[in-house]
Amino acid sequence: MADHLDLHTVGDLLHHYPRRYAERGELTRLSDLPLDEHVTVVAQVADARVHTFNGGRGRRLEVTITDGSGRLQLVFFGKGVHKPRTELQPGTRAMFAGKVSVFNRKRQLAHPEFKTLGAGSGAEAVKAFAHQLLPLYPACKQMESWQIQQAVDTVLGPAGHEESALAGLIDPLPESLREGRGLATLPEALRKIHRPGTKADIATARDRLKWDEAFVLQVALARRRQADAQLPAAPRKPAPDGLLTAFDARLPFTLTEGQRRVSEEIFADLATDHPMHRLLQGEVGSGKTMVALRAMLGVVDAGGQAAMLAPTEVLAQQHHRSITEMMGELAEGGMLGGAEQGTKVVLLTGSMGAAARRQALLDLVTGEAGIVIGTHALIEDKVQFHDLGLVVVDEQHRFGVEQRDALRSKGKQPPHLLVMTATPIPRTVAMTVFGDLETSVLDQLPSGRSPIASHVVPAKDKPHFLARAWERVREEVAAGHQGYVVCPRIGDEEDESKAAKAKSPEDEAEKRPPLAVVDVAEQLVKGPLSDLRVEVLHGRMQPEAKDEVMRRFAAGEVDVLVATTVIEVGVNVPNATAMVIMDADRFGVSQLHQLRGRVGRGSAAGLCLLVTDMPEGSPARARLGAVAATLDGFELSRIDLEQRREGDVLGQAQSGVRSSLRVLAVIDDEEVIAAAREEAAAIVAADPELGGYPQLRTALDALLDKERAEFLDKG
């Protein structure tokens, strides 16, 4: 158990909850068994026959089982035939577990493990069985569901005596909270989740166990916020007639209501003497960069420096270009022709020449440069700041916590922190994953943004749709616009011959290597886009070459850019109106939404075509349909999460095999999470060290084992 399911103690076992419950009248339907998955089914033997082969030397037992919705073949070979042959007589009901495979176009279980249910058909036995809820546990090949059930039964002891077996358990919920919320005791909840008499028992148990998870997690985050509030930071209040005022005066447009509101929240945080920890989330193109830039200018006004961290060189260069353009002569502080209240804005990336790099480092250490924009090269030991006051991290999900931490340690005191993301995060996830950050949301697009029409192009079912897609790209170019073609792969890096022999159309689309930039560009130049100016852009190009292609595309010297997802974040070419995403099913929902945000950035409407080989009715097609149906990023991130399931919320990989959340669903349990957050904040405010809550402390230590505690500390 320890090896395969990561269950080491009795407590681990008792908190390994059933995934669902089978009832006599409500079983896993045989008609929709998933292929290649471990399943547990409850069904009745319809037929059992022994066949011989190899001249009578080999024996094969074939058993057909049914549950009313469908039939399934079981096969047993060799010595494995004896036990099932005697036990699986027609009419026997049993639980079967194994991996679903296909043989002769029929689904089957080979050598499943099984356990017969109910001895005989005596009225009492049948009645007892009919009303029993059978727990089905998350299992694996080495440890089937009923083996886990047997282990749990051993721990719980005989029916009716469970409470005594569970008496010594650590209960993280304070008594007053549990009673105030009308929740079950922990022994009662564990008894009811493992041995429910009714469905109401299961609901009672889950309600209580959800609270445990939400509450302990929120206490961890509340303590983190409390600790942050104790850290000292230099308040940064912008000078009344300084750089920020001068910048605002030269803006050719007015800020949106949302930008003004979020800016006020940020400036209020910056004025306090403990570090700001704020998450700024906004749709692609909602003007986050403008809000961040105004915050940076405010800090420079107050005598500090601001650093902006971008996940890629392309993005760092782009931010640098757009920020210096927005600031004009204000970005040339100390230079001839620069404004007197200006400052220097420097770029620092790994691929810069030695001389430019030396100058940038010098400008930072002397304080000459108020703003620096760079990649993780900013974190290297050599980089010293004169007085780092604010760190802005762009696209948090691409940035390791260690990296954020390293940059934070470069200030004389902890700098203020602003984390930006264009991946909209549902409120509950923000409360859990980013629970130590205050959240600001920019939800309106600046005026002048255009709507984007999105369509799914089923290339395999309807090849003429793909031909029409290329026509649409040509039409956009003819109208004076530009387009992107996005592919999942660069090309030339993996062995194409690995494409396996496929069985179903879905397999075929899956097994074929993803389309590559290099190949697609070549086909387009020779074929449907032969008279257009087509260029490629991908991560393995030299930085100068990448920058040159982006510059030419931005200047309108390239009609169509065939690229990987390097363009996903922050690339801003208002004249680009069309995007064709090849093998769109290979991208995640939020990634598709991010990519789509690269078009429709100017006054002309945007068009996004999602090309896929996936057959109609497949989950992948449904996902693409959802993306095409809405431009609301929050709605899409909800869909995305529901499909991926929440990973380990505290762990670095936000999709672990074993989540610290077992019954709490981040999406569905918004009310529990919000209430737990309030309760946790109140308890931590009154008793930061939790001296009065020894059991809660123990539960917290168990949740925050060493690795996760470090992760939270670096938050």
Summarize pLDDT for 540-573 with one digit per residue, the tens: 888 788 888 888 998 999 999 999 887 765 567 8
Give the integer Cα–Cα distance in Å for 561 and 6.
Answer: 47
Torsion of CA 25, 28, 32, 35, to 10 degrees: -160
C-beta pairs of 474-479 under 8 Å, 24+ apart in sequence = 474/528, 474/529, 474/532, 476/577, 476/578, 476/607, 477/532, 477/559, 477/560, 479/604
Which of residues 304 and 669 earns the better pLDDT score? Answer: 304
According to the model, what pLDDT value does residue 306 have?
Answer: 94
Average pLDDT, the chain: 81
Q: Span 479-505, mean pLDDT?
A: 66
Give the integer Cα–Cα distance in Å for 119 and 209.
Answer: 35
Give the integer Cα–Cα distance in Å for 141 and 151.
Answer: 16
Q: Span 300-304, mean pLDDT?
A: 92
Contact in structure between 212 and 17 (CB atoms under 8 Å):
no
Which of residues 1 and 392 earns the better pLDDT score? Answer: 392
According to the model, what pLDDT value does residue 106 have?
Answer: 87
- Give the single-character DSSP code of 42: E
Question: In which band, very low, low, confident or very high, does the pLDDT at 651 lie, cut at 50, 70 and 90?
Answer: very low
Which of residues 657 and 23 earns the better pLDDT score? Answer: 23
- Give the single-character DSSP code of 81: G
Query: What are the helix and strand counts (H, E) for the chain?
Result: 26, 21
According to the model, what pLDDT value does residue 642 have?
Answer: 64
Which of residues 599 and 493 earns the better pLDDT score? Answer: 599
Report percent pLDDT > 90 for the chain. 30
- pLDDT surpassing 70 at residue 238: yes
**At a CB cut-off of 8 Å and minimum separation 6, what does 106 contact?**
73
Per DSSP, the residues of 196-207 read -SSHHHHHHHHH
Give the integer Cα–Cα distance in Å for 511 and 238.
Answer: 57
- Rg, the chain, Cα only: 30
Tokens of 43: 């069904």
Q: Residue 471 CA to chain centroid, in angstroms? A: 35
According to the model, what pLDDT value does residue 72 have?
Answer: 92
Question: In which band, very low, low, confident or very high, does the pLDDT at 705 lie, cut at 50, 70 and 90?
Answer: low
- Give the single-character DSSP code of 273: S
Give the integer Cα–Cα distance in Å for 704 and 684.
Answer: 16
Q: Residue 579 CA to chain centroid, in angstroms? A: 24
The pTM (predicted TM-score) of the whole model is 0.63
- pLDDT surpassing 90 at residue 639: no
Tokens of 288: 């986050």
Which of 25-29, 534-538, 649-653, 694-698 is the least confident region? 649-653
Which pairing describes strands 416-421 and 482-486: parallel, antiparallel, or unpaired?
unpaired
According to the model, what pLDDT value does residue 570 have?
Answer: 55
According to the model, what pLDDT value does residue 335 have?
Answer: 59
Helix (H) or strand (E) holding 149: helix 145-156
- pLDDT surpassing 50 at residue 699: yes
Look up tokens 């920058």; give the residue: 547
Largest CA distance in the chain: 99
Q: Span 276-304, mean pLDDT?
A: 88
Which of residues 492 and 92 earns the better pLDDT score? Answer: 92
Q: Span 345-362, mean pLDDT?
A: 90
Residue 628: count of CB within 10 angstroms of its CB = 19
Helix (H) or strand (E) holding 343: none
**In whole angstroms, how far apart are CA 210 and each of 148, 594, 636?**
22, 33, 25
Give the integer Cα–Cα distance in Å for 334 and 330.
Answer: 10
**At a CB cut-off of 8 Å and minimum separation 6, what does 463 contact?**
none
- pLDDT surpassing 80 at residue 694: yes
- Measured N-to-C along each axis, helices 706-714 and 199-230 cross at an angle, to the nearest 10 degrees, of 50
Contact in structure between 346 and 319 (CB atoms under 8 Å):
no
- pLDDT surpassing 70 at residue 153: yes
Look up tokens 């069309």; give the residue: 578
- pLDDT surpassing 90 at residue 65: yes
Which of residues 666 and 393 earns the better pLDDT score? Answer: 393
- pLDDT surpassing 60 at residue 272: yes
Residue 209: count of CB within 10 angstroms of its CB = 22
Q: Span 662-668, mean pLDDT?
A: 70
Q: What is the pLDDT of residues 453-464, one digit of tens each?
A: 899 999 888 888
CA neighbours within 13 Å on the CB side: how many for 313? 19
According to the model, what pLDDT value does residue 631 have?
Answer: 79
Q: Span 361-372, mean pLDDT?
A: 92
Q: Of how many residues is the chain composed? A: 715
**At a CB cut-off of 8 Å and minimum separation 6, what does 8 contact?**
1, 2
Contact in structure between 516 and 489 (CB atoms under 8 Å):
yes
Give the integer Cα–Cα distance in Å for 438 and 105.
Answer: 55
Question: In which band, very low, low, confident or very high, does the pLDDT at 451 lie, cut at 50, 70 and 90?
Answer: confident
Residue 294: count of CB within 10 angstroms of its CB = 22
